[in-house]
Amino acid sequence: MKKLIVLVLIAGLLLTGTMVYAEEAAGTDVLANESEFKDIKAEMKPLIDTIRSNSAEIEQLREDATALYKETKEKVKELINSEDGISQAQIEAIKEAIDILVEDKKLLVETKGDILKESIDLRVARRDRDVEAFKEALENIISIQNTRIEIFNKIIEDLKAVGTI
């Protein structure tokens, strides 16, 4: 019985020593991964900041376009209800502008799904710790956002053109 107790104690001592060594070895890898993670995070920060600033700009452009749309709609109503009425040339110009705005809106709607897809890819890359896929998804989101900014600016210009008719 005493031999069995001694063997159990020796086995426990050996296992404990092995586990401590394993933890120390794993700890050095964690530190290396942490410094590597900080480097990657520093590299990605400008891209993330660009996405945030683009999002704010898109939101501001959306608000501007909505306000300008309401103004333009009121001007067209005033033009229709004015004593002079609306000329055939003005009607044609408004129809053309509406067609252009419809096309612009279609482009805008098409890009909305692209951002959602890239956001999913971004989450998958983060979960899988795939740095290259993460960076690519960030760059794709920035590209889509820049496209949306251009489309919003075009919509605003088209609305201003309708307002001058």
Any domain includes 114:
yes
pLDDT score recorded for residue 30: 40
Any domain includes 104:
yes
pLDDT score recorded for residue 33: 66
The total number of structural domains that make up the chain: 1
pLDDT score recorded for residue 28: 41
pLDDT score recorded for residue 29: 40
Any domain includes 22:
no
pLDDT score recorded for residue 17: 55
Average pLDDT, the chain: 82
Any domain includes 56:
yes
Q: How many CB atoms lie within 10 A of CB 133?
A: 15
Residues of the chain with pLDDT under 70: 1-33
Rounding to the nearest 10 degrees, give the CA dihedral for residues 88, 152, 122, 135: 130
Any domain includes 111:
yes
Handedness of CA 36, 41, 42, 47 (dihedral sign): positive
Contact 107, 161 (CB under 8 A): no
Structural domain of 131: 44-163
State how far the Cα of 79 lies from the Cα of 89, in Å rounded to an integer.
Answer: 13
Any domain includes 32:
no
pLDDT score recorded for residue 13: 58
